[in-house]
C-alpha cells in the first residue's frame, strides 16, 4: 500500500475548459446575453454619429473692482480652485438653462416636438460637458446632440446667459468681507447650538421645560414637601411611643391596659375554649366515676390524679396563651415604633439630600437664565451680520473674474457603433467562458481518476461512468465491471484472497449495486461468489428480493443460533447473485457476539469468494471492524460528490487498518460532450475504430 499522505506530480486531467462550458452552458448563455444586451444600448448611445459644439471660457484669478474706492483682489490658490468648481456647477444650473431656452432661436434648434421646457432643461444638462485642465484658467464647454447641427448657437446662448448671471451674482470682495461675515455667522450659529445643548442638559437634569425670570425654583416646592413628610413621620413615632407607654401604665386596681387586653384575648380565644371544653367534659366523666367508687378502690385514686392533671393543663394553657398574647401586643407596638423610626430616619436623610441638591439646582437654574440672555444677544448679532451680507449682495456690478475666450463652433463626430458591438460580443464570450472555467476550478470535488491517484498515491482499479440510460456508456461500464471482476478473480487465484470488503466514503455512492454486480459477473465466470450484506447502517431491499423471511446474518450471529449459514442464503435470480441479507437489525451497528469469523469460515466452505457490502467508512465504525476480517478492501468514491479532504480522511482510516489489499473505484464519472478522453473512449468503443484527431491536432502534432 502506497503512502497515502504523499502527493506526486500526477496529471489529474481536471482542467477541461470545454467540459466546464458545457456544464455551465446556461450560465454562460445568460452572461453572454446579459453583457451583449448591455452593449447594445451602450453602442446605440455612444457609438452613433453626433454633432458637437465646443467653446472656451476664461476664469481669471484677478478681480477688477467696480468702485474706485475699493482695491482689486487676487484669489489665492485654494480659493481659485474652489471658484472654478463653483463656475462649472453654475453653467449647468437649471435656472440658467431654463432662461436660455426662453430665447426663440434656441427653442427652434433644441426643443423637440411637443417637448416641455422641463424635459428640455434636463436633456440640455445631460448633454453639456465641462472640463478644466489642471493648472490652466480655461473651461472647455462642449454640447453634444445627434440631430441638431446648430449646436454652436445653443452653446453661445447658454454661455451668454451664464455670464450675465455671473456678473449679477458676483459679489465684490466675495472672498473678503462676505466670506469673513459668513464665517462669523457660522461661529455664532455654532455657539447658539452649543448654548442650547448646555441649556437642554440643565433642563433635563432639573426636570423643567422652561426658565423664566422671577419664577420660583421648582425644587423649593420639593424641599417644602420633604420637610412636611419628615415632620409627619416624627409625629407618627411619638404617637407609637405614647401607645406603648399607655399599655404599661398602671390604672385603678393595680392593673394595666395591657393586662386588660391580654385577659380579653384569653377569654375570647376559641382554641383555648375548645380545649377547656374537652378537658371539662373528661373531668365531669371522672367525677361521675368517682362518685360510684370508694376511696380504697384503685380506680378512685387514678381518677383523682387525672382530674388534678386536667386542672393543671387548663391552668398551664391559660398562662401560656396570656404570655403569648402579652408578647404579641408588646411586639406589635414596638414594631410600629421601629417602623416609624425607620421612616423618620429615611426622610431625614432625604431631606438633607434635598437641601444639598436645592443649592446645586438653584445654581443651575440661574445659569440657564443667564444662557437665555446670551442666546438672545447672539441672535441680535446674527441679524446685523445678515443685513450686512444682504447689502453686499446688491453690490454686484463689477466686471468679475469670468469672460468668454473662444466662441462655440460645431463639427460632426463619426460614431463607432460596430466596434462597440464587436467588443461587447468578445467581452460577453470571454466573461461567460471565464466564469464557467473559474466555477469549475473552484469546485474541489473529485471528478477524475487522476485526482484519486494523486490523493491516494495509487491509481483506482476501475472508474465507472454515469450511464444516464445511454446504451453505449452502459456497454462500456459493463465491460469495466467485467474487467474489475477478472482482477478480483486473478487476486483470488494468485494470492488466495477469498473475501473482499466493499465500502464507500459516504452514503449513496453505489457500493451495494457494485457488490451485487461484481458477485453476479464472478458467478458467470464460474467463481462461486456470495454477496454478503453487513450494512446495518442502511440495509438494501435488493438482498431480500425473492424471500419473505426476516432471517439473515444477524440470526447467524445471535448467541442462541444453531442454524447452518447455507440455509439462509437466497439463491441467484436474474441478475442478482447468491446473497445473504443482514436480516432484522435493532440498531445501526452490527453486534457480532464474537461469531463473525466462524460464520465467514462456514460460508467459505461453500463459496470460493465472498464480497461483503459494508456501511460508509466515514459514518460507521462497522466498516473498520469488517476491514480487519477481509483479505482486501475496495473503497468506492462517488465522482463530483466527495471532496479531497473526505477522501484523505477515509484513506487515513484504511491506512490505520492496513489490510493486505486496498483498491479504489471511482464511480459515476460524468461524461460531457467535448469531455476529451472519456468522450473519445466511448466513441471508439461504439465504433470499434480509432477516432481520428481533429484538424487542429493534426496541424500541431504531425
Other beta carbons within 10 Å of 549: 11
Beta strands 138-145 and 50-64 are antiparallel
DSSP symbol at 62? E
Residue bearing the bigger pLDDT, 310 or 501: 501
Q: What is the pLDDT of residue 698?
A: 47
Residue 430, pLDDT score: 86
Q: Comparing C-alpha atoms, which of 524, 537, 536 is closest to residue 485?
A: 524
Average pLDDT over residues 129-157: 85
- CA-based diameter of the chain, in Å? 157
pLDDT value of residue 48? 65
Q: How far apart are alpha carbons 204 and 209 in whole angstroms?
A: 8
Specify whether the CB–CB gap between 659 and 626 falls below 8 A: no
Backbone angles phi, psi at 252, to 5 degrees: -65, 135
**β partners of residue 633:** 501, 662
Integer Cα distance of 449 and 447 in angstroms: 7
Q: Per-residue pLDDT for 1 more than 50?
A: no
pLDDT single digits (tens) 90-138: 888 889 888 888 898 988 888 888 888 889 889 888 889 998 888 788 8
CB 14 within 8 A of CB 446: no
Q: What is the pTM of this model?
A: 0.49
Whole-angstrom Cα distance, residue 12 to residue 450?
4
Mean pLDDT of the chain, nearest integer: 78
Q: Are 571 and 578 in contact (CB under 8 A)?
A: yes
How far is Cα 581 from Cα 515, in angstroms, rounded to an integer? 13
Distance (Å, rounded) from C-alpha 440 to C-alpha 282?
Answer: 105
277 compared with 30, residue with greater pLDDT? 30
Q: At what angle are helices 270-291 and 298-394 packed, to 10 degrees?
A: 180
Q: pLDDT band for position 77 (50/70/90)?
A: confident
Stretch 408-432: mean pLDDT: 78
Tell me the pLDDT band of 564, cut-offs 50, 70 and 90.
Answer: confident
Q: What is the DSSP letter of 316?
A: H
pLDDT at 578 over 60: yes
Class of the domain covering 49-172+397-411: alpha beta
Q: Phi, psi at residue 55, to the nearest 5°?
A: -135, 160
Least confident of 209-223, 409-423, 535-549: 209-223
Q: Do domains 49-172+397-411 and 218-392 have the same CATH topology?
A: no
Q: Name which residue leads in pLDDT, 82 or 279.
A: 82
Short-list 42, 77, 140, CA closest to 425: 42
Domain 449-688 has what CATH class?
A: alpha beta
Q: Which long-range contacts (CB under 8 A, 24 or more apart) does 175-183 make?
A: 175/73, 175/75, 175/76, 175/79, 176/73, 177/388, 177/392, 178/389, 178/392, 178/393, 181/385, 181/388, 181/389, 181/392, 182/389
d(CA 429, CA 435): 10
The pLDDT of residue 538: 83
Percent of the chain residues past pLDDT 90, beyond the cut: 4
User: For residue range 167-204, what is the model confidence (pLDDT) as tens digits?
Assistant: 766 654 554 667 777 888 888 888 888 888 887 887 77
Predicted pLDDT at 47: 63
The CATH-assigned architecture of domain 218-392 is: Orthogonal Bundle (1.10)
Q: What is the pLDDT of residue 428?
A: 81
The owner of cell 464647454 is: 141
CB-CB contact of 28 with 448 (8 Å): no
Query: pLDDT tens across 508-534, in order?
Result: 888 899 999 999 999 998 999 999 988
Q: Residue 637's pLDDT is what?
A: 92
Give the residue extent of every domain in the chain. Answer: 15-48+417-443, 49-172+397-411, 218-392, 449-688
More confident residue, 702 or 500: 500
Q: What is the CB neighbour count within 10 angstroms for residue 98?
A: 15
Q: Which tens digits make up the pLDDT trace of 454-483?
A: 888 888 888 888 877 777 777 777 888 888
Amino acid at each position: 500500500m502506497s503512502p497515502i499522505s504523499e502527493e506526486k506530480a500526477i496529471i489529474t486531467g481536471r482542467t477541461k475548459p470545454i467540459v466546464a462550458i458545457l456544464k455551465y452552458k446556461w450560465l454562460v448563455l445568460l452572461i453572454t446575453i446579459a453583457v451583449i444586451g448591455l452593449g447594445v444600448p451602450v453602442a446605440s448611445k455612444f457609438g452613433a454619429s453626433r454633432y458637437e459644439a465646443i467653446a472656451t471660457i476664461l476664469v481669471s484669478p484677478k478681480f477688477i473692482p467696480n468702485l474706485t474706492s475699493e482695491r482689486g483682489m487676487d484669489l489665492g490658490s485654494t480659493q481659485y480652485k474652489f471658484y472654478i468648481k463653483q463656475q462649472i456647477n453654475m453653467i449647468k444650473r437649471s435656472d440658467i438653462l431654463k432662461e436660455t431656452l426662453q430665447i426663440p432661436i434656441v427653442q427652434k434648434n433644441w426643443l423637440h416636438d411637443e417637448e416641455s421646457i422641463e424635459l428640455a432643461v434636463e436633456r440640455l444638462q445631460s448633454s453639456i460637458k465641462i472640463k478644466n485642465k489642471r493648472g490652466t484658467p480655461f473651461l472647455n464647454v462642449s454640447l453634444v446632440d445627434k440631430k441638431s447641427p446648430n449646436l454652436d448657437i445653443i452653446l453661445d446662448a447658454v454661455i451668454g446667459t451664464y455670464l450675465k448671471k455671473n456678473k449679477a451674482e458676483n459679489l465684490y470682495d466675495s472672498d473678503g468681507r462676505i466670506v469673513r461675515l459668513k464665517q462669523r455667522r457660522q461661529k455664532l450659529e455654532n455657539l447658539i447650538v452649543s448654548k442650547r445643548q448646555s441649556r437642554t442638559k440643565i433642563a433635563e437634569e432639573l426636570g423643567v421645560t422652561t426658565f423664566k425670570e422671577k419664577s420660583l425654583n421648582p425644587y423649593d416646592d420639593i424641599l417644602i414637601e420633604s420637610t412636611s413628610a419628615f415632620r409627619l413621620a416624627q409625629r407618627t413615632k411619638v404617637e407609637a411611643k405614647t401607645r406603648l407607654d399607655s399599655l404599661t401604665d398602671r390604672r385603678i386596681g393595680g392593673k394595666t391596659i395591657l393586662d386588660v387586653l391580654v385577659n380579653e384575648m384569653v377569654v375570647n380565644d376559641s382554641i383555648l375554649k375548645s380545649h377547656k371544653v374537652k378537658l371539662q367534659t373528661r373531668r365531669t366523666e371522672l367525677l361521675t366515676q368517682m362518685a360510684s367508687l370508694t376511696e380504697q378502690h384503685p380506680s378512685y385514686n387514678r381518677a383523682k390524679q387525672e382530674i388534678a392533671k386536667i386542672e393543671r393543663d387548663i391552668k398551664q394553657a391559660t398562662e401560656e396563651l396570656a404570655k403569648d398574647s402579652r408578647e404579641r401586643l408588646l411586639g406589635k407596638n414596638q414594631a410600629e415604633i421601629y417602623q416609624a423610626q425607620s421612616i423618620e430616619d429615611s426622610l431625614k436623610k432625604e431631606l438633607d439630600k434635598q437641601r444639598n441638591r436645592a443649592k446645586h439646582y438653584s445654581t443651575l437654574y440661574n445659569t440657564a437664565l443667564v444662557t437665555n440672555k446670551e442666546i438672545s444677544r447672539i441672535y441680535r448679532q446674527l441679524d446685523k451680520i445678515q443685513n450686512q451680507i444682504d447689502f453686499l449682495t446688491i453690490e454686484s456690478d463689477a466686471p468679475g473674474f469670468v469672460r468668454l475666450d473662444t466662441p462655440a463652433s460645431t463639427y460632426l463626430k463619426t460614431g463607432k457603433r460596430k466596434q462597440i458591438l464587436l467588443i461587447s460580443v468578445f467581452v460577453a464570450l470571454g466573461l461567460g467562458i471565464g466564469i464557467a472555467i473559474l466555477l469549475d476550478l473552484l469546485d474541489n470535488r473529485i471528478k477524475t481518476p487522476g485526482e484519486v491517484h494523486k490523493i491516494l498515491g495509487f491509481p483506482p482499479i476501475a472508474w465507472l461512468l454515469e450511464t444516464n440510460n445511454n446504451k453505449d456508456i452502459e456497454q462500456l461500464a459493463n465491460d469495466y465491471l467485467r474487467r474489475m471482476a477478472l482482477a478480483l478473480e486473478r487476486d483470488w487465484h494468485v494470492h488466495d484472497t477469498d473475501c473482499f470488503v466493499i465500502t464507500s466514503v459516504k452514503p449513496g455512492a453505489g457500493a451495494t449495486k457494485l457488490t451485487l454486480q461484481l458477485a453476479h459477473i464472478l458467478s458467470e465466470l464460474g467463481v462461486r461468489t456470495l454477496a454478503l450484506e453487513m450494512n446495518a447502517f442502511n440495509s438494501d431491499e435488493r438482498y431480500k428480493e425473492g424471500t419473505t423471511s426476516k432471517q439473515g446474518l444477524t440470526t447467524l450471529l445471535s448467541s442462541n443460533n444453531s442454524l447452518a449459514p447455507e440455509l439462509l442464503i437466497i439463491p441467484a435470480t436474474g441478475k442478482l447473485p447468491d446473497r445473504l441479507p443482514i436480516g432484522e437489525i435493532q440498531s445501526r451497528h452490527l453486534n457480532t457476539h464474537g461469531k463473525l469469523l466462524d460464520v465467514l469460515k462456514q460460508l467459505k466452505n461453500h463459496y470460493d469468494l465472498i464480497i461483503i457490502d459494508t456501511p460508509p467508512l466515514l459514518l460507521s465504525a462497522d466498516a473498520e471492524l469488517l476491514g480487519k476480517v477481509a483479505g482486501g478492501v475496495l473503497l468506492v468514491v462517488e465522482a463530483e460528490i466527495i471532496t479531497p479532504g473526505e477522501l484523505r480522511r477515509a484513506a487515513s482510516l484504511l491506512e490505520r487498518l492496513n489490510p493486505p489489499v486496498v483498491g479504489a473505484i471511482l464511480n459515476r464519472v460524468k461524461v460531457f460532450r467535448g469531455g476529451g478522453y472519456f468522450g473519445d473512449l466511448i466513441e471508439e468503443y461504439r465504433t470499434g475504430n480509432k477516432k481520428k484527431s481533429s484538424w487542429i491536432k493534426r496541424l500541431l502534432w504531425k
